[in-house]
């Protein structure tokens, strides 16, 4: 479901300046970025980033933090990563780690599904893991996140906070790990309208048609700003970018707007990962860090991780969540906070059912 077969991104997309390793494009062996030795009895966990780079302040950063936490918990684990500059690097980098005899090879991001499936099929005794995809191969442990649940809370919150009666969202690319956030956000606004007899509009995404606004890039902040400027011009006063680093163009502009509009971040708590905390109402968190940490610790402990059942993060198991309100804590009305909390409980209990075509499958 997460495969993006047929999609191709220009080589410049996502690249985090100064952090990409030249070795990847040349097909050389990935370098050890941890500085750790390679003791014979060490358990090696090796990560291949998507083209966003290790410092994307999003899922690559979170996955690497998970490996670092696993190493802290078990000093017998060695960790390393290689950053991909383009889609063509995925297979090269994965194969490089196979040849290095890494014990656990982690692929980060749904765009890597095809390359990971190919590598895993060719090396059935090799343990792989992947974030945001399930290629359906026994030796690939999928870590997926039902972010539509927490995004539903965010949509409800945004609708309740909006003064213009218009909120917006946009994505980097129309792929499942992106549109799942946008679906949940739109449904949360719809739920607010239903329960409050209001008519808050969602700009930038139509869940029914699966059409909306996209930057077609995950790094260019000017593209993110351009899209959000258009949404603001239409009246949106709260915007949720689902576009990686490109979304920083929106958060910076929101902070500079002097309160004209604000933003909701995604993936990792924006008050910890971006410089624009004062403009952020909250973050729809995808707890990649803990999922990766737990997977690596289990594998290092001798557990064989398989495609079924894999891991799906939900509100119930804290795999997804809303971050604290931080600077907005005093601005969010107490009754709205209570309603958002109740929505979490109702979704976890199954009283509210949240759906998206992009939801993960086991």
Please name each of the domains of the chain with its CATH number: 22-145+289-313 (3.40.50.2300), 147-286+332-349 (3.40.50.2300)
Please identify every stretch of the chain with a pLDDT value under 50, giving residue numbers as ranges: 1-40
Does residue 191 contact residue 157 with C-beta atoms inside 8 Å?
no
Does residue 159 contact residue 120 with C-beta atoms inside 8 Å?
no
Task: Tell me the C-alpha distance between 280 and 282, whole Å.
Answer: 5
Which contiguous run of DSSP H or E holds residue 288? helix 288-300
Question: What six digits make up the tokens of 207?
Answer: 């869940």
Give the model's pLDDT for residue 22: 34
Name the pTM for this structure: 0.83
- The answer to whether the Cα torsion of 203, 209, 210, 213 is positive or negative is negative
Give the model's pLDDT for residue 11: 34
Query: Residue 299's Cα: distance from chain center in Å?
Result: 23
Whether residue 309 is preceded by a cis peptide bond, meaning omega within 30 degrees of 0, is yes
Give the model's pLDDT for residue 226: 98
Task: Tell me the C-alpha distance between 82 and 90, whole Å.
Answer: 10
Give the model's pLDDT for residue 53: 85
Q: What count of other Cβ atoms lies within 10 Å of the Cβ of residue 124?
A: 9
Three-state secondary structure call for residue 38: coil
Query: Residue 17's Cα: distance from chain center in Å?
Result: 20
Task: Tell me the C-alpha distance between 340 and 152, whole Å.
Answer: 9
Task: Determine phi and psi for 238, rounding to 5 degrees.
Answer: -140, 130
Query: Dihedral through CA 118, CA 124, CA 129, CA 131, nearest 10?
Result: 30
Three-state secondary structure call for residue 349: helix
Question: What six digits make up the tokens of 138?
Answer: 């026994």
């Amino acid at each position: 479901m997460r495969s993006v077969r047929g999609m191709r991104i220009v080589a410049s997309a996502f690249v985090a300046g100064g952090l990409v390793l030249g070795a990847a494009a040349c097909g050389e062996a990935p370098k050890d970025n941890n500085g750790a030795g390679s003791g014979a009895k060490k358990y090696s966990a090796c990560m291949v980033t998507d083209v966003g780079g290790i410092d994307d302040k999003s899922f690559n950063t979170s996955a690497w933090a998970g490996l670092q936490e696993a190493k802290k918990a078990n000093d017998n684990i060695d960790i390393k990563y290689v950053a991909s500059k383009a889609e063509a690097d995925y297979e090269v980098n994965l194969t490089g780690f196979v040849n290095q005899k890494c014990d656990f090879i982690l692929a980060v991001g749904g765009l890597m599904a095809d390359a990971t499936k190919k590598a895993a099929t060719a090396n059935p005794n090799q343990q792989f893991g992947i974030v945001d995809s399930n290629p359906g191969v026994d030796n690939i442990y999928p870590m997926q996140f039902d972010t539509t649940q927490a995004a539903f809370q965010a949509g409800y919150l945004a609708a309740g906070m909006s003064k213009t009666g218009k909120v917006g969202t946009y994505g980097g690319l129309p792929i499942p790990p992106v549109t799942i956030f946008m679906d949940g956000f739109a449904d949360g606004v719809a739920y607010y309208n239903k329960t409050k007899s209001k008519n808050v509009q969602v700009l930038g995404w139509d869940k029914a048609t699966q059409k909306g606004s996209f930057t077609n890039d995950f790094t260019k902040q000017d593209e993110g700003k351009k899209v959000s400027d258009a949404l603001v011009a239409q009246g949106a006063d709260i915007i949720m970018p689902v576009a990686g680093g490109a979304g920083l163009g929106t958060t910076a502009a929101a902070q500079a707007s002097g309160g004209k509009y604000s933003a909701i971040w995604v993936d990792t708590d924006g008050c910890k990962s971006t410089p624009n905390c004062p403009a952020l109402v909250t973050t729809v968190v995808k707890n990649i860090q803990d999922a990766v940490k737990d997977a690596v610790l289990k594998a290092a402990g001798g557990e064989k991780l398989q495609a079924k059942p894999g891991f799906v993060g939900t509100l119930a198991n804290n795999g997804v969540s809303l971050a604290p309100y931080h600077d907005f804590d005093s601005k969010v009305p107490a009754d709205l906070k209570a309603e958002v909390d109740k929505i979490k409980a109702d979704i976890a209990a199954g009283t509210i059912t949240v759906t998206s075509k992009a939801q993960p499958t086991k």
